[in-house]
Structures are given as structure tokens and as C-alpha cells.
Amino acid sequence: MSNARVSHPTRRGILAAGGALGLGAVLAACGDDDGKSGGGSDSTATGAAKSGPWTFKDDRGTTVKLGKAPSSIVAFTGVAAALYDYGIQVKGVFGPTKTSAGKADVQAGDMDISKVEILGNVWDEFNVEKYAALRPDVLISTMFDATGTLWYVPEASKDKIAKLAPSVGVSVYDRQLTAPLQRMWELAESLGADLTAAKAADAKKRFEEAATRLRAAAKAKPGIKVMAGSASQELFYVSGTNLSIDLEYFKALGVTFVEPPESAKKQGGGWYESLSWENVDKYPADIIMMDDRTSAIQPADITEATWKQLPAVKAGQVIARSPEPILSYDKCVPLLTTLAEALEKAKKVS
């Protein structure tokens, strides 16, 4: 996690740094109001994948119309990973794709990263020339704010990028996980994915079963407090639940979270509170969910004595969290089952 970004809390910097921790998780709302519907029934995807015109209305309300379904797709890494799970292969990606060791980043999912053109691997990196060479039909990314800012598309080159192909934005802001999951399902279907296939249908069923399990686990352990955190060298971030799709969804299923006050989250753009390592014990917690992205320090590598003394850490009640979930049902099942299992086994230590 870049401390440089943390020290410059612009909206995008907030999200790119530990802020996206605060991003916490994302959820979408079955039965939420229109403001959190993630597009709702009027944000429909239509079109024939193999022939005929293609149309998709994204979460900005922008309708993209092409003479045929796009074949040259460029997407944010996490979006590309979700589409891959539905059988859609993109040509280019941008965002965390390859680790320093040359392996696939956690946000790349099951993609074979050797088969995609990596246009940018870190924040503010996007090779416009390589992008143009791909002759893109469409660019697809997520959005972590209400203004329609495309995630990981650099501010400095966004206008040049926009001129080369239309874009589609899927909102992962202030809604429950189920909403963007449904939107990605619709998008994949419009691009030609066979969602009647056993693999897709089974994944959706397993997600629903995992949600039922998590709801039951939360109901059985109402006194267990869960804290969503992320670690950098200098700071520990405690995420609030109000803007993150995963945390909003888990909360809706009955999970009790540590919730920093709004005043404490102000510097983090409403996403999170920043704590010094000396104050990492500010909030009592029984389970700690830690940011699994490569930009964050992982629990096994945290050397701070104050961290090691936390009751949840001493009890071994620390699990991984994906603040930027790969939006396929297959990849979101483990998010629910990991938390459900932790709740089922958790002891009250706070």
C-alpha cells in the first residue's frame, strides 16, 4: 500500500490506498431503494453476442451501442477476471495483474495473464499506445464513487482513452454485493456468455447457499464483533460498512461490525478511519478481516507488537477479505463461506 497516496487524500487516492480497504466490501440490494439498485430493471443488457447490434446501459445511465457485440474488450483486471469466469476472454487489462514475482495477482482470478496485454499494473499506469493498437471495441471498469469515475483509468490520460472506444462502468459504490454481481451477470450474458450452462448455474446456487449459511452463522453468534482492516507500514485502516459492497451485504445478512464514527472516517473520504499502530487496539473485535490485496501488508508480515497483542490475533481469529471482489458468483462464494466459518468457530475474546 502506497504511503504516498495515503498522505495525499484525494478522492481517487483515498480509494487506491488503504482507502479501498475502507472500501471494504461491496453489496447490492435485493429490495433496496432505487438509489442503491445498481441499475435496476431499466439498466438492461440486450443484444446478440454473435451477430446483430449490441447495446448495454451501464450504471452511469450511459448506453453503448455497437453494430455487433464487442470482440476486442479491454477491462480493469478484476472485471476481466469476472468475465473470464463466464467464458468471456478480454484482450487487454489494466490494474493489479502481475506480482513482483511474475505471478498472477489475486485480483486476476483464474485468468491466464500471459494471454492478455497488460496496459498498466499499478495506479496511474495505462499505456495508451498499446491500448490503441488493440483496436478496442469497448473499455469496461468498475466505479467507486457517485460521479462515474472509471477505476484505474488515469486522470491525466482519461480523455485520450475515451476517444479510442466507448466505455462501460459497473458501480461498486454504496450498494450491496448482489447488485454488481447481477450487473456483471447481465453484462457477460450480453457479450455472449452461456449462463444456462451448468457451471454458471451451479455457482449462483452455491452463492445463495453460502448467503444462507452466513445469515445463520450471524444469527447464532450475535455477540461476535467483526472488524475490517488493512495494513500499511505506518497506518492501520478500519473500514466502515456504509460504502463497501461486501460489508454492506454481510451487515444485511446480520453480521455485527465494528463501525468507526462518521467523524473519524472523514479523512478517509467516509470509507475508513486511519489509526497509528499504537492505537490499533482502539476497537474491540472478535474477528478481524484483513485486506488480501498485494497493495496491503498481509497479517503474517505484520511485525508490530500492538497487533500481535490483539485478542483476535492471539486467538487466531484473523481471516482474509477482498475489498475489491471479483464479481462472479464463483469468486464470491468463498467470501461468504470464509466469514461464515469464522463466525461458526469464533470465541468471544473482546
pLDDT in tens, 299-330: 999 999 999 999 999 999 999 999 999 999 99
What are 336-346's pLDDT values in tens digits? 999 999 999 99
Assess contact for 164 and 158: CB atoms under 8 A. Answer: no
Indicate whether this model's pTM tops 0.75. yes
Hey, what amino acid is at 141?
S
| Four-point Cα dihedral 144, 146, 147, 150, nearest 10 | 20
Question: Distance between CA 89 and CA 93 in Å, rounded?
Answer: 11
pLDDT reported for residue 136:
98
CA angle (220, 226, 227) in 5-degree steps: 175
Question: Distance between CA 319 and CA 310 in Å, rounded?
Answer: 14
With a CB cutoff of 8 Å and minimum separation 6, the contacts of 277 are: 234, 235, 236, 304, 306, 307
Assess contact for 312 and 285: CB atoms under 8 A. Answer: yes
Assess contact for 173 and 180: CB atoms under 8 A. Answer: no
Hey, what amino acid is at 339?
L
What are 78-102's pLDDT values in tens digits? 999 999 999 999 999 999 999 999 9
Q: What is the mean pLDDT of residues 125-151?
A: 97
276 SS3 class: strand
Across the chain, mean pLDDT equals 88
Assess contact for 49 and 32: CB atoms under 8 A. Answer: no
